[in-house]
Amino acid sequence: MISVVLLMAMLLFLGILPNSLSILAFSAIIIILIYQYPVLFLRPVIIYLFSICLGSLSLLFPDNPFSQYLLSGIMGYGVMVIVMFVGVLPNSLTLTRVIKKHRGELSILTFILITPHVINHLLILKTINLFGVVAFVLMVPLTFISFKVIKREISSIDWNRIQKVAYLVYISLFIHLVYVSSYDNKIIYAILFTLYVNNKILKEVKK
Amino acid sequence: MSLLEKFIVSFMVFLALYIVISLSLRLFEITTAYYSHMIGGIVAIIVGMLVFMYLLVAKKK
CA distances from A133 to A8, A77, A115, A117 (A): 30, 15, 11, 11
Give the residue on A whose Cα is nearest the Cα of B56. A154
Per-residue model confidence (pLDDT) at position B26: 92
pTM: 0.89
CA distances from A126 to A206, B32, B43 (A): 45, 13, 18
Nearest one of A76, A83, A3, A109 to A11, comparing CA atoms: A3
- The pLDDT value recorded for residue A11 is 80
B2 CB burial (10 A radius; 0-12, 13-18, 19+):
exposed
Burial of residue A181, with CB atoms counted within 10 A of its CB: 0-12 exposed, 13-18 middle, 19 or more buried: middle
Average pLDDT, 10 consecutive residues per value, chain B (61 residues): 86 93 92 91 92 82 54
For chain A, 207 residues long, the average pLDDT of each consecutive 10-residue run is: 80 82 90 85 88 92 86 90 88 85 90 93 87 91 87 85 90 91 88 91 83
In chain A, which residues touch B (CB < 8 A)?
122, 126, 133, 137, 140-141, 144-145, 150, 153-154, 158, 161-162
Nearest to A30 by CA among A88, A138, A105, A87: A105
Q: Identify the pLDDT of residue A87.
A: 86
A144 vs B contacts (CB less than 8 Å): 49, 53
- For A11-53, the three-class secondary structure string (H helix, E strand, C coil) is HHHHCCCCHHHHHHHHHHHHHHHHHHCHHHHCCHHHHHHHHHH
Q: State the Cα angle at A96 between A81 and A109, rounded to 5°.
A: 40
pLDDT score, position A190: 92
